[in-house]
Amino acid sequence: MIAISRLEGQQDKAPGVAIVTGANSGIGRATALELAAAGFHVYATVRQSKSADRLQELALAAGSHIDVVEMDVSSDSSVAAAVSKILSEVTTVDVLVNNAGVAGNGVVEESTVEQLEAVMNVNVYGALRCIKAVLPSMRAASRGCVVNVSSVAGRLASLAQAPYVASKWALEGLSEELAFELAPFNIRVAIIEPGVTRTPIFAKNADVPDVSGPYRAHYRRMFQLYAVAIPVAADPFEVARVIHRAVTSEDPKLRYLVGWGAEQIAGGRRRMTDEEWVALGAATDDEEYYADFERVFGIAIAPSGG
């Protein structure tokens, strides 16, 4: 059974209108269900309506209503049409959760410009398209919250995931800039930084450019980290509850770490100098790398018996 927390002290009046992108699965679906259960009028966006069948089943089982809207965040016209449709039904959008995203493996040298463009177009430009579409209504209402789902990889350069890391660092910079700019308008920004979370993104992200070339150790170590993490990954509802808290908190923060490894990895990197971080990457032996990783981050990722 899926546990969905409700807003404490919820009044009869709905807390507002929320748009959640990429709501067909994972964190997006969990967030749409979480906010709907808390009384929000949720518009869940998906690229194809049929992919939201499971979302609608879960909402019905939870006694909630969710409106599904087709939207492709990588398309200017699709975002404009979807948000225009929503604003024809409601006067303002109170919460925007930019969750839609894609992964991207590869070391810098072996990543193509086209690969980076594709990842950036969803993870950064997609969020930007949605932000630009909803901000006029938020400013008119003098309220709102923009939630950008980043990653712990937005705080450090995750091994052999250059396209993904570049997109999340860009999203974090965009979000911090946005928070500063929107402060006078009573609109806040929350950056959600999940660690490893149980979502379909991993099944779609098994390919790498070249696992037998000069960077094969980097790819091997990256996949070993996920081999350890995925079986104990955070439930998407854990992230959804943090998003709910970020949206409704009377003492909001800009950044929220959540999920497997997030606090440990971010904390370990924060305690390191840049030079120590580079030195970690210089390890030529896997056992040395795994031992150093555990020493720095407090997480054992060595293969069993290794």
Is residue 11 domain-resident? no
Is residue 1 domain-resident? no
Catalytic residue among 43, 164, 215, 289: 164
Is residue 286 domain-resident? no
pLDDT band at 206 (very low <50, low <70, confident <90, very high): low
Is residue 285 domain-resident? no
148-196: pLDDT as tens digits:
999 999 999 999 999 999 999 999 999 999 999 999 999 999 999 999 9
What is the C-alpha to C-alpha distance for residues 157 and 112, in angstroms, rounded to an integer?
A: 18
Is residue 177 domain-resident? yes
Running DSSP on this structure, what letter comes out for residue 43? E
Is residue 139 domain-resident? yes
What is the C-alpha to C-alpha distance for residues 84 and 206, in angstroms, rounded to an integer?
A: 36
User: How many domains in the chain?
Assistant: 1
3-state SS assignment for residue 44? strand
Q: What is the mean pLDDT of residues 271-280?
A: 97
Task: Round to the nearest angstrom and report the end-to-end CA distance of the chain.
Answer: 37
What is the C-alpha to C-alpha distance for residues 167 and 20, in angstroms, rounded to an integer?
A: 19
- CATH code for the domain of 24: 3.40.50.720
Residue whose structure tokens are 């966006």:
45
Is 164 part of the annotated catalytic residue set? yes
Domain assignment of residue 160, given as a range: 17-214+234-270
pTM of the model: 0.93
